[in-house]
Amino acid sequence: MQEENAAQIQESGSVDIRSSRGNFHCLTIIGQIEGHMLLPPQNKTTKYEHVIPRLAAIEESPDTDGLLLILNTMGGDVEAGLAIAEMIAGMKKPTVSLVLGGGHSIGVPLAVSADFSFIAPTATMTLHPIRYSGTVVGAPQTFAYLSRMQERVIRFVTSHSRMSDEDFRRMILTTGELLGDVGTVLLGHDAVDIGLIDRVGGLSDALEMLYSMIQK
């Protein structure tokens, strides 16, 4: 196997890539993030208890110089998604994220957790409040829990992006854009203009940014 761009596949959605410009790990998160509740088998899921130790191994590996995170998310367990996002944000090695297709729900904190974020021109970011399935919250304690969790998401996103707290709160409560729900759908350029994502681009742009960060 040639040294240039040699890839060693560890498991589905995870690969080490070695190049003369640097070695990095490519991690894909597609579908829903599976946390404490088991998702249906037809959903493509990322189990957070598998990703977290892998991130720790990437951070400690002397053979890995950076992380490329590729996202196309549909939501999932908020606690699990925030745990992964906090792990990525706490890494000292260079990290770059690329949103392809869509970033829905917990995919928003994941996208901004990297040192630099990209979004494809046709990709979307969906901002909406945290909610349970259904329309009725049956206990005050449940409402308070959801409110505190929402504040955690808002605080994380606004502290790891250029988006303001006011804009985020306004967009998650916008009516008329999502059928039967509240929230906002941002196309690639819109997500950059509002400060949520750093730049519109594709795979080559994300790789170029990661290599430049590694070489620095």
Q: What is the set of active-site residues?
A: 105, 128
Q: Which two tokens stand for residue 126?
A: 């969906």
- Asked whether 61 and 24 are in contact (CB, 8 A), the reply is no
Spatial distance between the Cα atoms of 188 and 124, rounded to a whole number of angstroms: 6
Neighbours of 191 (CB within 10 A): 26
Yes or no: say if 15 and 58 are a contact pair by the CB < 8 Å rule: no
Report yes or no: 98 and 203 within 8 Å, Cβ to Cβ: yes
Q: In Å, how far are 6, 66, 67, 209 from 92, measured between CA atoms?
A: 24, 9, 10, 16
